[in-house]
Amino acid sequence: MHTDFTGTGAVGAVDAGRRPVPVAFSLLGPFRCWAGGQEVDLGAPQQRALLATLLLHDGVVTTVESLIDALWGTTPPRSGVTVIRTYISRLRQVIGDASPSGQIRIDSMAGGYAVRVPPQSVDVVCFRRLTLEAGAAMRRDDAAGAARSLREALALRHGLPLTGLPGPYVQGQRARLQQLISDAEVSLVEAEFRLGRYQEVLPDLRALLVEHPLRERLHELFMAALYRLGRQADALTHYQVMRQRFVEELGIEPGARLRDLHRQILLGGPNQGSAEPARMPGRRSVARRRSVSAPYGGRTRQRR
């Protein structure tokens, strides 16, 4: 499946059967909607945030009270219920114009609302599907297939998720989406590593380590890639610098896997970059990463 959620390429999106998707929603960047290759005006920021909230619940009914909390948190206006109903009415008009066939609609039920939308029309849903496909490929030892799915997933991002939307709910989901993107980036590096593309993954690993300097898995992959390229001394130097940072900033030694890898590299000899150590960084299935509930959760700064 090829999907264009930016509106800059083919019309909207195309599903697996190569049929045009009438409406496409983009959340992995500024929140935007496309219909027939044209951007749809979704209204004021809070109205847009309401629609994004419903989309992130993936068809699950969201009560009016939950929507008020999502938009205003602990300081809702007295007219919150009326405002929500006004936003829903306006969004129904906009969506009805964009999807006259009724394929996309907002339903009222059980004291709340739910958006009915084809899964291929929402970039977050497509992203999640592709990462699950990558996890299945890794379990089949198909690193090339996993890499293809992950590259397609990461091509859907186009900035900070949910840019321009207000509200505490969106703020939390922005962090979740950033984490999903970050996990996919690491998974892609792991797939490329398993394909033996050690030189190619080094720049990506350096960039990821700048953002996540305390993420041990990245240090494992970086040291292992250096070692496989015959750069034993560089791998050992990186370990010493990393260990010093862990001790100074966290007050702890690196984990057992890193210490074990360090010992293997020490014993490997200066010219054994192509050798297979007893336990180089092992595979880690994409599907075993942290799952995210109905609101899908990219790249976020690693906190101490």
- Classify 303 in phi/psi space as left (phi over 0), alpha (psi -120 to 50) or beta: beta
The β-bridge relationship of strands 23-26 and 62-63 is: unpaired
Whether the pLDDT of residue 1 is over 60: the answer is no
pTM: 0.80
What gap in Å lies between CA 223 and CA 238, rounded to an integer?
A: 7
What gap in Å lies between CA 202 and CA 248, rounded to an integer?
A: 25
pLDDT tens readout for residues 121-153: 999 999 999 999 999 999 999 999 999 999 999
What gap in Å lies between CA 264 and CA 279, rounded to an integer?
A: 8
Whether the pLDDT of residue 87 is over 60: the answer is yes
- Classify 162 in phi/psi space as left (phi over 0), alpha (psi -120 to 50) or beta: left
Class of domain 13-120 (CATH, top level): mainly alpha
CB 67 within 8 A of CB 115: no
For 98, phi then psi, to 5°, come to -75, -30
Query: What is the reported pLDDT for 21?
Result: 60
Query: Over pLDDT 70: what percentage of the chain?
Result: 81
CB 224 within 8 A of CB 281: yes
Nearest Cα to Cα of residue 246 among 219, 268, 265:
219
What gap in Å lies between CA 290 and CA 169, rounded to an integer?
A: 19
Q: What is the DSSP letter of 30?
A: B
Q: What is the DSSP letter of 163?
A: B
CATH of 123-288, one of 3.40.250.10, 2.70.70.10, 1.25.40.10, 3.40.50.150: 1.25.40.10
Query: Mean pLDDT across the stretch 157-173?
Result: 95
**H or E stretch including 51?**
helix 45-56
The residues spanned by each domain of the chain are: 13-120, 123-288
Question: What torsion, rounded to 10 degrees, do the Cα atoms 126, 132, 137, 139 define?
Answer: 180
Query: Mean pLDDT across the stretch 240-264?
Result: 94
Nearest Cα to Cα of residue 112 among 148, 177, 62:
62
Query: Mean pLDDT across the stretch 20-32?
Result: 87
Query: What is the reported pLDDT for 102?
Result: 82
pLDDT tens readout for residues 187-215: 999 999 999 999 999 999 999 999 999 99
